[in-house]
Amino acid sequence: MAVGMKAVIDLGSNSVRLVVYQQGPHGTQHEVEDLKQTVRLSSHLTPKNKITDRGIALTVQVIHEFKRLCDAYGVTEVIGVATQAVRMAVNQAELLDRIRKETGIAFRVLSGAEEAYYGYLAVVNTVPLDEAVMVDVGGGSTEITYFRNRVMVQQISIPFGAVSLTRRFLRTDPPSQKDVNKLERAIRKQLDACEWLKGLRCPVVGVGGTARTIARIHQRRRHYPLGIIHGYEMWPTEVTAILDMLRSTPPEKRSEINGLSDDRADIIVAGAVMLDQVLQRVEASRLVISNKGLRDGILMEQILQHRGESVLSDMLGYSLENNLRRFQSSQRRSGHVWHLTQRLYAALVEQGWWTDDAEVWRWLRVAALLQDLGRAISIYNTSKHTFYLILQVSLFGISHRDRVLAAAIAAYKTSKRTQALLANYQEFLEEEDLLAISKAGVLLGLVRSLDRTGMGNVRDLHLIPAQGAWKLCLDVERPLGVELDASSKWLKKWRKVFQKEIRLEVNPHERAKDV
Amino acid sequence: MAVGMKAVIDLGSNSVRLVVYQQGPHGTQHEVEDLKQTVRLSSHLTPKNKITDRGIALTVQVIHEFKRLCDAYGVTEVIGVATQAVRMAVNQAELLDRIRKETGIAFRVLSGAEEAYYGYLAVVNTVPLDEAVMVDVGGGSTEITYFRNRVMVQQISIPFGAVSLTRRFLRTDPPSQKDVNKLERAIRKQLDACEWLKGLRCPVVGVGGTARTIARIHQRRRHYPLGIIHGYEMWPTEVTAILDMLRSTPPEKRSEINGLSDDRADIIVAGAVMLDQVLQRVEASRLVISNKGLRDGILMEQILQHRGESVLSDMLGYSLENNLRRFQSSQRRSGHVWHLTQRLYAALVEQGWWTDDAEVWRWLRVAALLQDLGRAISIYNTSKHTFYLILQVSLFGISHRDRVLAAAIAAYKTSKRTQALLANYQEFLEEEDLLAISKAGVLLGLVRSLDRTGMGNVRDLHLIPAQGAWKLCLDVERPLGVELDASSKWLKKWRKVFQKEIRLEVNPHERAKDV
């Protein structure tokens, strides 16, 4: 898979979006640009489904502009896809020909099933759920997909989205109760067509602008301390509450709603009704937001091909790798710290001094691999920067709570400082967490100090239970210096946190020269 | 000046330090590694100033280790310098020969005057003071320098530092009042030798570990919201208060002092007494901390040579350039935003709608040039990341207050959000600041939206006063699209903040195609 810049342009019924990805080796990638222009193509369809001349001209102009931007980024491959509005347009060919002629980009018109599939690919590889219903409320259509054991088993594309439903049903703004009732009935009728949806009682994953907007409004209202949308969870009743608030807010007041952008204010009610109806039909246990959708699914297809997997077997590992590359953090170095961390935790578990806990393993993995991320900001106050970055960067397969815990472990210095760092994140914490953070933080801190030079001088370690103090035997590459200096304060912290002394023993052949 | 990795190893009387710099074009640079090993070379001097065999062996071992690390970083030039302990050692040659033979690094022994000069170079190019006394309390010597109009006019090297003073005067820990009195008298006698120091009443710049430690203790005690040491200011009486606290704390309690590291706990009192005595002798107006010292001065000498300047004429500009390179932010792009920002602010000033304010210019400059820095973290929540980075990265020539204001302007979205962002930074703010931030934030936001694609489509702009609404005439490269979309919300904010409507007018030849 080529290393370099790649772009996806998604010609939707509400907006045209451009995402530019920087691709690294092994299918790693990160977004460097995300631009949207609200063209409302579905509003430029005549009753006979012909895109007007103005609609064509506007669309071509936007794509032209995006193409120029791609050139400026040095993009070598632009993938163009079109969805519902183009799908149903009788003069589809005319539009696509003009685009190809003027920009050189050959757009592919996705079927509803393909659109659903790409959304599924994005979600199943970035949201850690084995079973869920996915719903993507677009401008002109809504894709609903059901996957179990991470395999897509059902899908339907409903030819109505936030823009078209608004145009068809909501004649006033705010809409009358009567119109909303009619809209709800129409959606229910559409949903009746998929018997499989009813009462699945699994989580629903919300994809696309409608779900993101509802989540953002919800986050702002409760002053959610993390700015992350991906993986955010809501109760279905909370969605209904926000819908009720939205439909009763007159348009001139709607711009004051924190989290709602101007270009979505007029279509959000219809979109929210759709989402709400799906949640009800599924009797969903919760709504999980995915920031990844169609565009990411298109790239993901290539990544999976390259990696020879049908779904990512380790989405967390993949996203950790993405971040190590993105922040030019040494994979060898962080991998070695993670290796030593595992060895030490496993030894403590084996000796019965710590319980074997999947959560702790996960936190330690993220913390150990990303422990050095903060150096990308500065080598001063690095642990503070690492804390910030672990809370902010794109990570898949872990919860927001996991992030907070992993960030605190990676940044651990003292329990007092940890409490200060976590002051705004109390809602994520449980009672025993502070002790777990201290133990894991000291463990990781000690291991990091043993690789302070990043040269892997400590090849391996093993813990030996002993009367009084534990012995930590180090298998070293060459005499230690900086490492011993750096580890001394962690040995003191160890005693405090584990209530047990630990002593380093360098293997006899390579003991530090006795000078 | 070669682009690549460069290192400075500073063989001091208390510790050996390694700093590795990544060098970019035009003398830009940033640190990628900073390692210290506390060897206490001055403790390995016999009464006849001979370094013991053990002292030599320890030193060689540490430098060997640092050399290996330099190799791992791909360092192409290692500059080694030695100070007081080596300077006074009768077997200096023996030590340096062994180092050269075993590591290939030819260490240069700096005279006291050279040491002072390099410290001066570091400070005068990173701290925005025209006149100051600099004091660098080392392990074995103390360098005091006086510069006026940014030119070094006096300097003295006192052959006593924190380690040697402790050894010689402080026989107990905590020290007796009698010993401290004796120490103070000895220092005063040394200071008597420089008549020029007395009553200068200028700021004192504190360089080195003693000053940094005192600042860090002070910051922790008052919960200072910024983690930055460089440019931190203290009143002389605050230094005295911390000295009093330190000398009355028994050693076993000293490790609990937040900000004081274990390897400095036993020598901090002597160092603090030296600093305090200098502050008193100068009758200093304040103490300003410099995180930059000897090592940075050595690199700075090369940078200045390369740039053909005796001191940096624009230290802020230099540090902004460093950061743009470090975070791979486009200089062309940010430079263009700064150009348009200046044009618009100047026009507002010219029309009498805003006052010409050097502070506002400075904030706007930092905010405009670093506006995109947050993209280095993520293209989502970018403004939040930009806020964080402007508060954290290495910037010279501006105060901590300037940083806070510039960060708030760069991240501006609404005044409500600004207040939330600034909640922890109230101590830096004055009454009118929120209005200034809103105005500058909206101005920058509008300009940024006009270059949303980063392609410089808006070449230039000029403001035309008009009845009712102002006109902002745009000289464009090609039809605008994304830019107009992005600017519409800023035009609304403009009206709210400036209480005056503003309308865009695209120059007629290049008006967006009327489709």
Instruction: Tell me the pLDDT of chain A (515 aa) as tens digits.
Output: 678 999 999 999 889 999 999 998 888 999 999 999 988 898 899 999 999 999 999 999 999 999 999 999 999 999 999 998 899 999 999 999 999 999 999 999 999 899 999 999 999 999 999 999 999 998 889 999 999 999 999 999 998 999 999 999 999 989 999 999 999 999 999 999 899 999 999 999 999 999 999 999 999 999 999 989 999 999 999 999 999 999 999 998 988 898 998 888 999 999 999 999 999 999 999 999 999 999 999 999 999 999 999 999 999 999 999 999 999 888 889 999 999 999 999 999 998 889 999 999 999 999 999 999 999 999 999 999 999 999 999 999 999 999 999 999 999 999 989 999 999 999 999 999 999 999 999 999 999 999 998 989 999 999 998 878 899 999 998 888 889 989 999 999 999 999 999 999 998 654 444 43
pLDDT for residue B513 is more than 50: no
| Cα–Cα dist A298/A116, whole Å | 11
B305 in a structural domain = no
Q: Average pLDDT in the B237-265 region? A: 91
Q: Is residue A45 domain-shared with residue A151, that is, in the same domain? A: no
Whole-number pLDDT of residue B263: 81
Q: Is residue B245 domain-shared with residue B135, that is, in the same domain? A: yes
Contact A135, A144 (CB under 8 A): yes
Are residues A54 and B515, on separate chains, in Cβ contact within 8 Å? yes
Are residues A379 and B54, on separate chains, in Cβ contact within 8 Å? no
A310: how many CB neighbours lie within 10 A of its CB? 12
pLDDT for residue B515 is more than 50: no
Contact B348, B500 (CB under 8 A): no
Contact A51, A174 (CB under 8 A): no
| Cα–Cα dist B409/B383, whole Å | 10
List the beta bridge partners of residue A134.
A145, A205
A383 in a structural domain = yes
Whole-number pLDDT of residue B328: 86
Mutation target to probe the A interface, by most A beta carbons within 10 A, among B370, B379, B455 is: B379
- Locate A360 and state its tokens: 């702790």
Q: What is the dihedral of CA A369, A374, A375, A379, to 10 degrees?
A: -130
B461: how many CB neighbours lie within 10 A of its CB? 21
Are residues B485 and A378, on separate chains, in Cβ contact within 8 Å? no
B385 in a structural domain = yes
User: Taking the CA of residue A172 as centre, how many other CA atoms within 13 Å lie in the half-sphere pointing to its CB?
Assistant: 10
Chain B residue with the nearest C-alpha to that of A486: B37
Of A295, A324, A345, at which residue does a domain stop? Answer: A295
What range defines the domain where residue B337 resides? 315-510
Q: What string of DSSP letters covers A326-364?
A: HTT--HHHHHHHHHHHHHHHHHHHHTTSS---HHHHHHH
pLDDT for residue B468 is more than 90: no
First and final C-alpha spacing in chain B: 53
Q: Is residue B257 domain-shared with residue B357, that is, in the same domain? A: no
Q: Is residue A224 domain-shared with residue A89, that is, in the same domain? A: no
- Of A253, A267, A189, A199, nearest to A12 by C-alpha is A267
Are residues B35 and A453, on separate chains, in Cβ contact within 8 Å? yes
Query: Among partner residues B392, B482, B515, which is closest to A378 by beta-carbon distance?
Result: B392
B252 vs B151, B212, B255, B256, B262, CA distance in Å? 44, 22, 7, 8, 10
Mutation target to probe the A interface, by most A beta carbons within 10 A, among B103, B329, B453 is: B453
Are residues B375 and A227, on separate chains, in Cβ contact within 8 Å? no
B43 φ/ψ angles, rounded to the nearest 5 degrees: -85, -10
User: Taking the CA of residue A392 as centre, how many other CA atoms within 13 Å lie in the half-sphere pointing to its CB?
Assistant: 24
Task: Give every CB contact of residue B287 below 8 A, 6+ residues apart in sequence.
Answer: B203, B204, B205, B206, B211, B233, B234, B235, B236, B238, B239, B275, B279
Of all helices (H) and strands (E), which one includes residue A108? strand A107-109
The DSSP code for B144 is E
A305 in a structural domain = no
Q: Is residue A289 domain-shared with residue A417, that is, in the same domain? A: no
Contact A319, A396 (CB under 8 A): yes
Task: Give every CB contact of residue B27 below 8 A, 6+ residues apart in sequence.
Answer: B1, B302, B303, B306, B307, B318
Whole-number pLDDT of residue B479: 86
Q: Is residue A249 domain-shared with residue A398, that is, in the same domain? A: no
Task: Give every CB contact of residue A430 below 8 A, 6+ residues apart in sequence.
Answer: none
Whole-number pLDDT of residue B255: 80
- Of B9, B225, B452, nearest to A420 by C-alpha is B225
B157 φ/ψ angles, rounded to the nearest 5 degrees: -115, 115
Task: Give every CB contact of residue A20 below 8 A, 6+ residues apart in sequence.
Answer: A5, A6, A7, A31, A32, A33, A34, A69, A70, A73, A75
Whole-number pLDDT of residue A211: 97
Among B72-76, B216-220, B475-479, whose mean pLDDT is lowest? B475-479
Q: Is residue B328 domain-shared with residue B377, that is, in the same domain? A: yes
Read off the CATH number of the domain in which A469 is found: 1.10.3210.10
**Which chain A residues are Cβ-neighbours of B32 within 8 angstroms?**
375, 379
Q: Is residue A50 domain-shared with residue A159, that is, in the same domain? A: no
* SS3 category, A486: helix
B112 vs A262, B143, B157, B210, CA distance in Å? 65, 7, 5, 18
Read off the CATH number of the domain in which B238 is found: 3.30.420.150
A310 in a structural domain = no
Contact B204, B284 (CB under 8 A): yes
| CB proximity B90 to A under 8 Å | no
Chain B residue with the nearest C-alpha to that of A395: B378
User: Taking the CA of residue A225 as centre, how many other CA atoms within 13 Å lie in the half-sphere pointing to its CB?
Assistant: 15
- Locate A156 and state its tokens: 């339907």
B298 in a structural domain = no
| Cα–Cα dist A261/A255, whole Å | 7
**Edge-to-edge strand order for the sheet containing B502-506?**
B458-464, B470-476, B502-506
Q: Average pLDDT in the B133-143 region? A: 93
List the beta bridge partners of residue A214.
none
The ipTM estimated for the assembled molecules is 0.92
Q: What string of DSSP letters covers B246-284?
A: HHTS-HHHHTTSTT--GGGTTTHHHHHHHHHHHHHHHT-
Interface of B with A in 385-424 (CB under 8 A): 385, 388-389, 392-394, 416
| CB proximity B455 to A under 8 Å | yes
B259 in a structural domain = yes
Interface of B with A in 330-359 (CB under 8 A): none
* SS3 category, A207: strand
Q: Is residue A231 domain-shared with residue A271, that is, in the same domain? A: yes
Whole-number pLDDT of residue B509: 52
- Locate A31 and state its tokens: 């977004």
Q: Is residue A172 domain-shared with residue A64, that is, in the same domain? A: no
B52 φ/ψ angles, rounded to the nearest 5 degrees: -70, 165
Q: What is the pLDDT of residues B156-177, one digit of tens each?
A: 999 899 999 999 999 998 999 9
**Which chain A residues are Cβ-neighbours of B488 within 8 angstroms?**
262
Q: Is residue B323 domain-shared with residue B464, that is, in the same domain? A: yes
- Of A123, A125, A112, nearest to A310 by C-alpha is A125
* SS3 category, B20: strand
Q: Is residue B20 domain-shared with residue B45, that is, in the same domain? A: yes
* SS3 category, A378: coil
Give the minimum alpha-carbon distance from A101 to chain B in angstroms, rounded to a whole number. 18
| CB proximity A31 to B under 8 Å | yes
B316-339 residues labelled b (16+ CB within 10 A) or e (exposed): bebbbbbbbbbbebeeebbebbbb
pLDDT for residue B11 is more than 70: yes
Give B102-108 contacts, CB < 8 A, sequence gap 24+. B102/B60, B102/B63, B102/B64, B103/B60, B103/B63, B103/B64, B103/B67, B104/B67, B105/B9, B105/B63, B105/B67, B105/B78, B105/B80, B106/B80, B107/B9, B107/B11, B107/B80, B107/B81, B107/B82, B108/B79, B108/B80, B108/B81, B108/B82
Interface of A with B in 478-507 (CB under 8 A): 479, 481-482, 485, 488-489
Model pTM? 0.94
| CB proximity B54 to A under 8 Å | yes
- Locate A307 and state its tokens: 């990696």
Chain A residue with the nearest C-alpha to that of B453: A69
Give just the sign of the alpha carbon dihedral A281, A286, A291, A292: negative
| Cα–Cα dist A330/A317, whole Å | 15
Burial label for A283, CB within 10 Å (0-12, 13-18, 19+), is middle
Find the length of chain A. 515
Are residues B69 and A455, on separate chains, in Cβ contact within 8 Å? yes
Whole-number pLDDT of residue A269: 95
Are residues B513 and A485, on separate chains, in Cβ contact within 8 Å? no
**Which chain B residues are Cβ-neighbours of A229 within 8 angstroms?**
380
**Edge-to-edge strand order for the sheet containing B4-11?**
B29-37, B16-23, B4-11, B75-82, B107-109
A302 in a structural domain = no
Whole-number pLDDT of residue B507: 80
Of B109, B134, B167, at which residue does a domain stop? Answer: B109
Split into its structural domains, chain B has a count of: 3
| Cα–Cα dist A386/A408, whole Å | 9
Q: What is the pLDDT of residues B206-233, one digit of tens each?
A: 999 999 999 999 999 999 999 899 999 9
Of all helices (H) and strands (E), which one includes residue B109? strand B107-109
Of B109, B136, B163, at which residue does a domain stop? Answer: B109
* SS3 category, B506: strand
Find the length of chain B. 515
Give just the sign of the alpha carbon dihedral B373, B124, B34, B214: negative
Q: What is the pLDDT of residues B315-367, one digit of tens each?
A: 999 999 999 999 988 888 999 999 999 999 999 999 888 999 999 999 999 99
